[in-house]
Every structure is written in structure tokens, then in C-alpha cells.
Structure 1
Amino acid sequence: MPSSVMPTSSRSGGSPSPAAVSAVGLRKSYGDKTVLDGIDLVVPAGSVFALLGPNGAGKTTAVKILSTLIAADGGQAQVAGHDLAAEPQAVRAAIGVTGQFSAVDGLITGEENMLLMADLHHLSRTEGRRTAAELLERFDLTDAAKKPASTYSGGMKRRLDIAMTLVGDPRIIFLDEPTTGLDPRARHNMWGIIRELVSGGVTVFLTTQYLEEADELADRIAVLNGGKIVAEGSADELKRLIPGGHVRIRFTDPAAYQSAAVALREVTRDDESLSLQIPSDGSQRELRSILDWLDSAGVEADELTVHTPDLDDVFFALTGPTAGPSAGPTTVPNQSKETVR
């Protein structure tokens, strides 16, 4: 991959900031199977970038390339301002990587795991012990520090794993499915850790199969399918890519229901639940129009619900059996779900 000048990125109206991670045309094949087919990525510094995709989509391969663990077959990339091919050592000095499977050694204690990482980063004995103690306290592992890591819960092992990654004070962290196998409480705790890292200026490149996780954490999301980025944007923008938004009006009065069903156009009736479904983008203008019509007609609805596609809908639409790679990512404004009673 020859050296090149990579783009910068700006966040919502701010001045341009250098991209923490940028790539153009990354390619990787194994035999006759193309895993990455010329993907482009730009990750602004100090943000969370989530790479979504089904199993086998190439998410882990992308992380391995960008973290210098394997070489790409083609394309160009910079990480932390360093060319991936020409300056791999400088890239490694600036990043931390937490893989799908914990790097924790269960045969030694949590503290010993931390001190081992300190040795690998060539910290002095004093500095290593200070750093280990600070990180163990930060991740609420001080009480368990002297216990074998094999006795830790899944959430504790994941916290220790990330604490070990932070020993080298990386400014960019690659988290490859960091909450897989964790219970909901441990997953939410991990989200808090990630938010704390980003608030401290760290850039997080996240791969995940939990759509809620990407929705909660990511400033930008890219959907990888068939070796290509098929869509990219904020969670809100991606939700607008998928049709199916509607307003659902429910009645308890059968007469009011019948009056509304006759007068409104393009409605889908549900006589059993006395509800009507109207295609809508959920905009304020459309909602006001529906409410004004109900008032002018003297029809009182008991519940009005706005539905727009969620990230699950986006994921299935873009990565399902009939989905194919698109010409490029699309950005569209988003609405949300809300209920008016």
C-alpha cells in the first residue's frame, strides 16, 4: 500500500479535524473469496465509529488490517497520521486492540496481567505498578486484583481486557465485538466505559452485532455487506434509508373508528383493534395535518403512534438475502418513535 495523503473530516459544523483512521480502497481476499472489496473509511478523532455487518462480512478483517495484524491486498490507509504500510511501528505505538476473545491470562491474577502488559510496553517497574494500580481502580477491579483472572466474571474479564489495552495510553482503540457474551448489566457498564474513553479524547473503532449498541454509542455507523460499505451515516440518518414509516391511530369508539376510516385516504384498517395505519415520514408537518383533521372532523382518537424504521430494520434491509452492495453510502435525516396520547 503506497503512502498517500488521506482526507480530514469535520464533525457537525465544527472546523476540520484530522481523521484518526482513514482508508481508501482497502481490499483483502483469501483464495477466491473476496472479504473486503475496496472499502473507504474516515473516522474523526475523538469519536465512536461502528462497523456493522453479518457474520463473515469482513468486520474483523478490517480491524486486523487497520491494526497492522495482517496486510491488505490493496488500497491505502493512515492510522493516527501514520501510513499503515510505511510506518507500522508508529501505528502500533498509537493504538490499542481488544479482540473478540479476551487476551486475559486466567492462570495469573488481574494485577499480574496488568504488570505483564506494562513490561511489554517497556515501562519501568515503578511506572508499571503505578499505571496498573490506577487502571485497576478506574475499572473497579482493585478488590479482585490479587485473584486469578480465571475466577472473574465475563464482565470483569472484559474490563480487565480493556484496562490492559490502556496501559500503553493509546489514542485510538479498536474494539472488536467487545460485549459479546455479556449480560445486559455488564454490557451497559461497558458502554459507560466506552463513553468515558471518548470523553477523554480517545477514538473508538467498534465492531458489533448488537444494533442497540451502535445506536447508543456511535457517532457514525458503516454497514458492511458483500465486502462493500453499503451505507454510512449516523444512526438517525441510516434509519431514514428504509421505507415503512407510518402513523397508527387507535380508537375505542367504533363509530369514531368508522368515521375516520371512511374519511382518511390510503389507510390500512385493523377492525379487530380499531386502529388505522397511515403511511407517513413522521414529520411535524404531517402529524399536525392529521391532528388538525381529527379536530375539524370532531373525531377523537385514543392513541396516536409514530413509527419510523429502527436500526434493526436498516440492518436486515441492507444485509438480507436480497440486499446487494450499493454505489455508495447515503445520508438522510431521521425521525424517531413517539406516542401521543
Structure 2
Amino acid sequence: MRVAILGSGNGATAAAFEWASNGHDVAMWDFEEFPDNIAGIANRGHIEGRVKFEGTAPIRYAGHDLDEALAGAELVMLIGPAYSTVPFGEALRGKLTPDMAVALVPGACNGAIVLKQTLGLDLLDDTYLIGETSTLPYGCRLVEPGVVRVTTRVITGLFVAALPSSGTEALRERLAVVWPQVESARNVLQTTLQNGNPVIHPAIMLMNASRIENTGGDFLFYTDGVTPASARLIEAIDTERLALAAALGVDLLSEPELGFRQGYMGDATYLTGYNQGIGFAKSQAPKELEFRYLTEDVPYGMVFMSELAKQVGVPTPNIDAVIQVASAALGRDFRAEGPRTPQTLGLDILTPEDLHRL
């Protein structure tokens, strides 16, 4: 299969390695302002994998010519942070063909909806097969340009949904060629709400805010940062997320249940599951509070959950408190900034029954 990957960060490089090492013809593209890893891969002609992935995998093309990267692609994966979805969508305008499947890996809070809006498509338009996964299937970091260290590859608990959901099975089959563990979700609300980053990251960041600022992040984020108090806050946030999902008729796994299934954790608990989890053991804390664990997970994820919960009548006092405290700590108004709310996504006019039909 010809595969085009948009993005050149940790996850994009890991995915490119795995798909190429399984015999697929992989191209990578990114914007010119992100040249380092693209140049490293282009110069090598391959990606080197370490730890879970070993050896090298050839890459057909790595560069900044999007038409070259997309040529003949049967699968296009957009792999980047939440804020990359709109620029990727703008770059893709007029370049998709109906035989391409497009997957945001992960959707990072309604990525498929935002992509279709950016492409100028109605949410239920099925001309193109577009969807998202609930998570990135790796725990990984770039070691240097062209070299990726993968410490965890999820063994299950990877969900996918197309928009509209009538295309989910077709998208799942395309991804299952290399990711056989991928499971069909009910719809993109499930893949969005199953993303645990907004549940975990902001709580740990705020409970360790002084430590991060005083040490420059010189501690292990989960091993040292998850204590009984922060574990209770994570659980309180997760409880509200699960209540929201239930009100929408969406089945979710709790965050520890998901982490246990994926292989990150040895037990499905909010405390030892994280601070003793093998998949989290070497994760270093951020050096400062201005980091995506707050600047992405709060405005993109937590604000969306809070506003959607208001729409369906589910109280979220703990989520709301974290949004407020994170805003005060960083001197910002994350609720006002929230780029993905039911209002901006066009979901505010939908009834719960309409939301089920996405």
C-alpha cells in the first residue's frame, strides 16, 4: 500500500517506521518550518528504530512537496498535535481523491470534524473516507533526526471512527493491515472522549506546578508526579468524563482500564497504575508549565468536555476547576481561547439523538 504521512514528529516517525518495515511504500511530508527530521530522513533514506522497533525501514520520500508525498496514496495519515489539524487541512484542499482513506492519528479532540470543516465538507458528506483514532499507538521519542525510540506499542485499546460512522469499518480495515488491534468505535465522539490526555496531564501538571518551576522539570512525570492526591484528582476528572459519555450513549473505558489494556500499566488503578506503570516509567516532566500538557489538553480537550457537558446537563465541577486554575496559573483564559467547543464545531445545535447519528 502507498502511504503518505503528514507530520514529522515523534509519532509520525514511529508510524512511518512501522508501516515501511511491514513492506508498505511510505512517504513523509511536513511544512518547511519543520525541516530537521525531514532532512535527516531524506539524507539517510530510511528511519532507524530503537527499543521496541529495531533496524531500519526505507522511506520512499521525505520532503516538503505535498503532491509528491500524496502521489498514489491509498492511506493518508495526519499525525501531529491538535493545532496541526487546520494547517494540514488547508494544505490538503483540492488534493484528496475518493480512493484515499484519511486518518488523524490521533483525532486529538474532534480532529475529523475540524478537518472536514477546514476542507469545506459537510460533516456527513461521505465523498471521502475521513476519520480518526482515539490515540497514538506508541509511546515514543525522537533520539535524533531519523532515529526514533519506541518504548511502548499499544496491544489493544486503539479505537477508530469515520465521519460519518458508516465508513468506520472501511477505515478500520485499511488501518488493520499494520495495526490489527484497531477496534471500531461507535462514532467520533467516542474516539474524542476516549483520548485520556486531558484527563491525566493537566491534573499532574497543576499538582506539581511548583516542582516544575523550581526544578525545571527535573523529576519523572508519572513515577514521581502521581501521588495519592493527584491520583484522586485524575479519578474525579475521569468520573465526570465517563458521566458525560454515558449521557451521550457512548461506551468508554476508564483511563486506568484503557492504560492496562494498552500495556502501559500493570494494574488498572489511578495511583500505582501510573506511578508504577512500565509504559510511563521513564517519562520526564516538562521543563515549564507552558507545555502542551496544559496549553493543548486544557483548551482543546477539557474545555470541549465542559461545554458539551453543559449542553447535555452533566455537571463537571472538577473539570471546570482545573480549567480555571490552569488559566490563572498561566495568566490566560483557556475557556475563552477554547478552539474546539460545541459552538465552533457546529454541535451546539444538535440534540443528543443527533449526536448519536454522527
Same fold by TM-score greater than 0.5 = no
Question: Which structure is larger by alpha-carbon Rg, 1 or 2?
Answer: 1
Relative contact order, higher structure (CA 8 A, sep 6+): 1
TM-score by length of 1: 0.24
| Structure with the higher strand share, 1 or 2 | 1
More helix by share: 2
Structure 2 length as normaliser, TM-score? Answer: 0.23
